[in-house]
């Protein structure tokens, strides 16, 4: 990759990003992305605005390319780029850099509050004696349920196993520690269990402009079943996960690869189906907005159509 | 929270008595009807602004909130109190921008000192754009304003704003009725449910120019549909009263359902007279358009996270007369006052400004209330 005339070359942004995620499991990838970008601009000495902006853009592209799950990461990068565009009217590069570092650091600090805010807005929806279905492991859902436990609410939770990484087990373990009665169900048992459920909660990898969401595979089918059973489905997401995408189908996602679930070559004599399963299955799916009852975000409770409003407010400001 | 004694020192004796009186009326359930409650609450709020001791908008807001909380405690299920108090709080923040941006102005000063222009280091992230869009000039002028802030003027500003709001509440029906001719056409068959003054005005205004049929459901056990039918009687309207049980059968002939409501929730759902949900569901089955007339003061800045929280039960006497002594002891009789109508059964909500989709309501409310704060405020202490 070309590195236009600066010594930011000795700072590996991808390494920093991965290191952040590894050492702190509670940090979300958009926040880690902004943090990495801040560290990066601290270390480089561009002298013209154009050069400065180019370095930041290259770094964003580098980050996006380096990870296979780029959706929520790109939300962080976009927020950073938008901020840079706003600040680019500053008199000098140094001033812009300083302002950007400050804004970025504030953002990273404030991000911790986001999950608390979601819990503030969402916890009244959890009531005594409810049965809740959650999908996969999501930190923001955990935050909300932890808050509800602190408010002495008594509820039960069904958690989907969420293949292939079985992240549901982790959620079950955490809830068990909190003393919440919980049960892990097979992904295929969502339809079976829906009748007993009062509401479904899902997190989001990214919330898109239409108000739909991109999340761990299985969210879409859960949403369809919840809608068919007329159960409310609430999506939880911090506002920095709002991304400027408008997928029209499952295959519009940036994570889509043409080798996902494409039929095998007939000529191959023996196929290891077990190995194929993990290799050729997608990890994310897209849930259209009509399946989402409400969204709990740190900006408040909103209908899915509120997402595009917020995105427009931020990006067209 | 302050003890009642402490806060009452901020109020004059007359005001304190006024508040107590209002609370007593709320507790006894003497105040019925959304408009009555709205106007009474707004008047009380005006009294608090005019007649209590405060030197800062934050102090005033705190006072209003404490009074609001006490009212809510007296009648926790009355959404209109929340609406009005939140609206008045919004008016206070609008009328006293210097207080609101006091913090921002201070941070601007700091930023300028450190060689950075405050307006150019807006917070990063979504939802902070309203802060960042306030430019430096605004911040400086507001801090200047603050320096010469004249409390007397602020007070009279706020009061005249509240007066304007009270007039708005009073005239809401007339304003809504101005849209009537856009929605009602000649020889249509319209179905409405129970007694609603807003719907009455709406239909009568349309009847000045058009001739149409109105079917009124009687809305047992209150039977206030009879009253509505009487009010609607005019040369151009042919009124038919039907029992509630006939709604589904008659719906196939109906062109349009026009409903009144007690309150509109932030997701576009309704808290309306019991029986409304059934009418809306029947309309959906027959793909009949459902239109709801509601003044802006009925918009509640909260989401229906608990269907029962906003409902009340009425005396069951109307369902099962106490005279039936042998039965009264043997069965439980429940007579809820309200229905929650989910937003997907509503096609259009008509207010003073015209028609809106239910999904747009939360956006509308962002202009009416300091939304996020209000939501946090009216969630009851757990």
User: What are A253-270's pLDDT values in tens digits?
Assistant: 888 888 888 887 778 778
Residues A99, B116: C-beta atoms closer than 8 Å: yes
Q: What chain A residue is nearest to B360 in terms of C-alpha separation?
A: A305
A96 with A212, same domain: the answer is no
Nearest one of B32, B70, B91, B170 to B374, comparing CA atoms: B91
B318 min Cα distance to partner chain A (Å) = 32
A151 with A178, same domain: the answer is yes
Residues B127, A299: C-beta atoms closer than 8 Å: yes
> Looking at A124-128, A151-155, A249-253, B26-30, which range is the least confident one?
B26-30
B245 with B352, same domain: the answer is yes
Q: Are B161 and B91 in contact (CB under 8 A)?
A: yes
Task: Report the CATH number at residue A94.
Answer: 1.20.120.420
B196 with B115, same domain: the answer is no
Residues B120, A90: C-beta atoms closer than 8 Å: yes
- The answer as to whether A2 is a domain residue is no
Instruction: Compute CA distances B177 → A159, B39, B196, whole Å.
Output: 51, 20, 13
Q: Which tokens sit at B190?
A: 């319209």
- The answer as to whether A107 is a domain residue is yes
Q: Are A229 and A195 in contact (CB under 8 A)?
A: yes
B359 min Cα distance to partner chain A (Å) = 7
Q: What chain A residue is nearest to B111 in terms of C-alpha separation?
A: A99
User: Is the complex ipTM higher than 0.85?
Assistant: no
Cα separation, B251 vs B241, in Å, equals 13
B90 min Cα distance to partner chain A (Å) = 17
B58 with B102, same domain: the answer is yes
A96 with A185, same domain: the answer is no
Does the CB of A289 have a partner CB in chain B at under 8 Å?
no
Cα separation, B259 vs B243, in Å, equals 16
- The answer as to whether A136 is a domain residue is yes
- Per CB-CB distance under 8 Å, the chain B contacts of A300 are 371-372, 375
Nearest one of A65, A53, A55, A67 to A20, comparing CA atoms: A67
Q: Are A271 and A97 in contact (CB under 8 A)?
A: no
Q: Are B349 and B358 in contact (CB under 8 A)?
A: yes
pLDDT in tens, chain B (382 residues): 444 545 556 778 888 888 899 888 888 878 888 888 899 999 998 988 888 888 777 888 888 888 888 888 887 778 888 888 888 888 888 877 654 444 444 333 333 333 333 344 456 666 654 443 344 444 445 554 554 456 667 788 889 989 999 999 999 999 999 999 999 999 999 999 999 999 999 999 999 999 999 999 999 888 999 999 999 999 999 999 999 999 999 999 999 999 999 999 888 999 999 999 999 999 999 999 999 999 999 998 888 776 677 788 888 888 888 888 788 888 888 899 899 999 999 999 999 888 999 988 888 888 888 755 555 455 444 3
B183 with B137, same domain: the answer is no
- Per CB-CB distance under 8 Å, the chain B contacts of A309 are 363
Q: Are B187 and B253 in contact (CB under 8 A)?
A: no
Last residue of a domain, one of A116, A144, A163: A116
Q: What is the pLDDT of residue A232?
A: 93
Q: B348-351 and B289-293 as β-strands: parallel, antiparallel, unpaired?
A: parallel
**Could you give the number of structural domains in chain B?**
2
Task: Report the CATH number at residue B295.
Answer: 3.40.50.10470
A145 with A249, same domain: the answer is yes
User: What is the total residue count of chain B?
Assistant: 382
Give start and end residues of each alpha helix (H) in chain A. Answer: 13-23, 29-43, 49-66, 71-87, 93-122, 139-150, 167-178, 190-193, 219-228, 273-280, 305-315
Does the CB of A296 have a partner CB in chain B at under 8 Å?
no
B243 with B157, same domain: the answer is no
**What's this model's pTM, rounded to 2 decimal places?**
0.80
Does the CB of A314 have a partner CB in chain B at under 8 Å?
yes
A112 with A178, same domain: the answer is no
Cα separation, A61 vs A46, in Å, equals 18
- Per CB-CB distance under 8 Å, the chain A contacts of B117 are 90
Last residue of a domain, one of B114, B146, B172: B172
Q: Which residues contact B320 (CB under 8 A, 6 or more apart)?
A: B327, B328, B331, B333
Residues A301, B266: C-beta atoms closer than 8 Å: yes
Nearest one of A241, A56, A79, A78 to B122, comparing CA atoms: A79
Q: Are B339 and B263 in contact (CB under 8 A)?
A: no
Q: Are A233 and A295 in contact (CB under 8 A)?
A: no
Q: Kindly report the CA angle at B308 between B304 and B313, in degrees rounded to 5?
A: 135
User: What is the total residue count of chain A?
Assistant: 317
Q: Which tokens sit at B375?
A: 């939501």
Nearest one of A235, A229, A216, A249 to A303, comparing CA atoms: A235
Nearest one of A121, A145, A115, A122 to A133, comparing CA atoms: A145
Omega cis (within 30) before B221: yes
Last residue of a domain, one of A94, A116, A138: A116
Cα separation, A310 vs A170, in Å, equals 32
**Could you give the number of structural domains in chain A?**
2
Cα separation, A96 vs A15, in Å, equals 25
User: What DSSP assignment string belongs to A292-313?
Assistant: --EEEETTEEE-THHHHHHHHH
Q: Are A204 and A215 in contact (CB under 8 A)?
A: yes
A99 with A204, same domain: the answer is no
- The answer as to whether A98 is a domain residue is yes
A158 with A299, same domain: the answer is yes
A88 with A135, same domain: the answer is no
- The answer as to whether A220 is a domain residue is yes
Q: Are A200 and A226 in contact (CB under 8 A)?
A: yes
- Per CB-CB distance under 8 Å, the chain A contacts of B305 are 124-125, 127
Could you tell me the residue range of the domain that residue B308 belongs to?
178-378
- Per CB-CB distance under 8 Å, the chain B contacts of A298 are 127
Q: Which tokens sit at A58?
A: 């290259």
Cβ-nearest to B267 among A79, A104, A303: A303
- Per CB-CB distance under 8 Å, the chain A contacts of B130 are 313
Could you tell me the residue range of the domain that residue A51 belongs to?
7-116
């Amino acid at each position: 990759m070309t590195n236009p005339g600066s010594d930011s070359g000795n700072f590996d942004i991808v390494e920093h990003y991965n290191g952040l995620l590894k050492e702190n499991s509670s940090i979300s990838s958009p926040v880690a992305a902004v943090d990495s970008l801040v560290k990066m601009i601290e270390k480089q000495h561009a002298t013209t605005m154009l050069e400065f902006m180019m370095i930041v853009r290259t770094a964003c592209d580098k980050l996006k390319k380096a990870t296979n799950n780029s959706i929520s990461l790109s939300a962080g990068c976009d927020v950073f780029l938008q901020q840079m565009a706003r600040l680019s009217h500053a008199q000098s590069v140094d001033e812009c850099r300083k302002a950007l570092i400050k804004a970025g650091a504030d953002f990273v600090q404030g991000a911790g509050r986001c999950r608390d805010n979601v819990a503030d807005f969402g916890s009244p929806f959890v009531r005594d004696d409810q049965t809740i279905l959650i999908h996969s492991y999501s930190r923001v859902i955990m935050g909300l349920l932890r808050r509800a436990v602190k408010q002495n609410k008594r509820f039960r939770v069904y958690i989907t196993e969420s293949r292939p990484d079985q992240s549901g087990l982790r959620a079950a373990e955490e809830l068990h520690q909190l003393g919440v009665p919980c049960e892990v169900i097979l992904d295929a048992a969502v339809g079976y269990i829906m009748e007993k459920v009062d509401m479904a909660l899902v997190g989001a990898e990214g919330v898109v402009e239409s108000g739909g969401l991109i999340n761990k595979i299985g969210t879409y089918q859960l949403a369809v079943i919840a809608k068919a059973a007329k159960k409310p489905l609430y999506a939880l997401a911090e506002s920095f996960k709002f991304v400027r995408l408008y997928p029209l189908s499952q295959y519009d996602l940036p994570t889509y690869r043409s080798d996902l679930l494409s039929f095998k070559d007939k000529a191959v004599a023996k196929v290891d189906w077990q190995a194929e399963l993990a290799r050729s299955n997608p990890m994310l799916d897209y849930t259209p907005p009509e399946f989402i009852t409400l969204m709990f975000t740190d900006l408040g409770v909103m209908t899915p159509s509120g997402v595009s409003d917020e995105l427009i407010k931020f990006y067209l400001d | 929270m302050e003890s009642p004694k402490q806060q009452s020192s901020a109020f004059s004796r007359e005001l304190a008595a006024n508040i107590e009186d209002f609370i007593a009326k709320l507790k006894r359930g003497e105040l019925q009807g959304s408009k009555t409650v709205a106007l009474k609450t707004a008047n009380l709020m005006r009294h608090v602004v005019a007649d209590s001791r405060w030197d800062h908008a934050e102090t005033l807001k705190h006072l209003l909130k404490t009074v609001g909380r006490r009212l809510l405690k007296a009648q926790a299920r009355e959404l209109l109190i929340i609406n009005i108090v939140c609206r008045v709080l919004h008016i206070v923040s609008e009328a006293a921008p210097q207080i609101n941006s006091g913090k921002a102005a201070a941070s601007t000063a700091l930023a300028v000192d450190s060689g950075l222009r405050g307006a150019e280091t807006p917070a990063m992230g979504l939802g902070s754009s309203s802060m960042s869009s306030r430019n430096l000039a605004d911040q400086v002028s507001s801090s200047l304003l603050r320096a010469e802030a004249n409390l007397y003027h602020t007070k009279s500003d706020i009061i005249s704003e509240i007066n304007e709001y009270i007039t708005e509440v009073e005239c809401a029906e007339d304003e809504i009725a101005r849209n009537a001719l856009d929605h009602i056409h000649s020889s249509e068959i319209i179905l409405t449910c129970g007694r609603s003054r807003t719907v009455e005005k709406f239909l009568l205004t349309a009847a000045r120019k058009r001739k149409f049929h109105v079917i009124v459901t009687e809305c047992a056990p209150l039977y206030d549909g009879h009253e509505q039918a009487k009010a609607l009687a005019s040369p151009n309207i042919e009124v038919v009263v039907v029992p509630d049980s006939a709604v589904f059968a008659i719906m196939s002939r109906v062109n349009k359902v026009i409903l009144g409501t007690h309150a509109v929730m932030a997701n576009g759902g309704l808290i309306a007279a019991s029986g409304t949900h059934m009418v809306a569901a029947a309309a959906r089955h027959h793909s009949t358009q459902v239109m709801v007339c509601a003044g802006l003061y009925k918009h509640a800045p909260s989401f229906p996270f608990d269907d029962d929280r906003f409902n009340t039960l009425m005396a069951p006497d109307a369902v099962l007369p106490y005279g039936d002594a042998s039965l009264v002891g043997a069965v439980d009789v429940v007579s809820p006052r309200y229905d929650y109508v989910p937003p997907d059964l509503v096609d259009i909500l008509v207010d003073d400004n015209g028609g809106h989709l239910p999904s747009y309501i939360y956006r509308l409310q962002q202009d009416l209330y300091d939304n996020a704060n209000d939501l946090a405020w009216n969630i009851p202490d757990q």
